[in-house]
Structure 1
């Protein structure tokens, strides 16, 4: 799979799809394992999304790191008292993390938004720019 990510070709993509299908449709003598293999086939497209988008990582380490700080704070503080408090905490934690990822000061971003100055680009714009999606869309004329 890593070789495919470095040099994706249609031929290799088809081979990987076939290998996956052969692996999860094989018959085994263990009912529990057979059941699990069947579940993999149900989520086949999601599991093989990397074949359509080879730049996607093959692990979720980034996602795990994203929530680590949040989990520590929740343990120390004992959580929130209301659904609204939880929603506010989650929203601000997400904003803070996204700002940090894109090299933007969280405090300056909040000040920029609250004062209406709007000198700092919207986070959605920064995310699209970092993903390369805008360039892809513009070059394809979509």
Structure 2
């Protein structure tokens, strides 16, 4: 399952959309009149209430609750506010209903991309500081090491101890291969 911000390269297989990015589209609108400003404020509040209820659903999935959330989604995103740009955006989000409500069929998936965006933040920061890599080999080395480091962090394993173990630097205890640790964590 891929949860994305709607970037085309991630629209593959069983896809879900990030609610934070969806709401951000509403947040980015620039209302001109007080009525437009109020319409945006109300809509944002309704979206965040709906998001909170989706999170609640994840903790205790129930077919009746899922049906109620689907009906509420319809009311929320078919709403007409009188602010043309907001109404167009709501219609656009409504067309993506299946991807926004994927969590009702798969409660274990995240509602947002914050976790995966945090995973790549290290890469982006390093690229901005260093200006990127010079060769394909350098890019591959960077990607492999950052991937290993992030995996070690998620498994609460010292990255440097893991590297030392793989390079046969003597330590007090051996660290199992990462695939074994990932399987153990998944079973826990």
- Which structure's relative contact order is higher, taking Cα pairs within 8 Å and 6+ residues apart? 2
How many residues are aligned here? 130
Cα drift, residue 121 of structure 1: 4.1
Inter-partner Cα distance in structure 1 for 2:181 and 2:98: 28
Task: Measure, in 2, the Cα distance between the counterparts of 1:83 and 1:37.
Answer: 43
- Report Cα offsets for 1:11-46 as digits up to 9, x if no partner: 001111111122112234333222212221232222
1:108 is displaced (CA, Å) by 5.9
- Unpaired segments ≥5 residues, structure 1: 136-142
Specify which structure has the higher proportion of helix: 1
Distance (whole Å) between structure 1 residues aligned to residue 72 and residue 130 of structure 2: 48
Kindly report the root-mean-square deviation, in angstroms, between the aligned alpha carbons of the 2 structures: 3.1
Alpha-carbon spacing, 1:29–1:73, altered in 2? closer, same or farther (3 Å): same
Write the deviation string for residues 95-141 of structure 1: whole angstroms up to 9, x where unpaired: 221122123444565677789xxx83453x64455345xx9xxxxxx
1:11 aligns with 2:64: yes
Q: Which runs of no fewer than 5 residues in structure 2 stay unpaired?
A: 1-52, 169-174
Counterpart contact for 1:112–1:120, Cα < 8 Å: no
- TM-score normalised by L of structure 2: 0.53
- State the partner residue of 2:108: 55
State the TM-score, normalized to the length of structure 1.
Answer: 0.66
Distance change in 2, residues 1:107/1:50 (3 Å): same
The alignment status of 1:79 with 2:132, answered yes or no, reads: yes
- Cα distance change, pair 52–126 in 1 and its aligned pair in 2 (3 A): farther
Mark the CA change 1:83 to 1:21 in structure 2 (over 3 Å): closer, same or farther: farther
Partners of 2:88 and 2:181 in 1: CA distance: 43
Taking the aligned partners of 2:113 and 2:121, their CA distance within structure 1 comes to 13
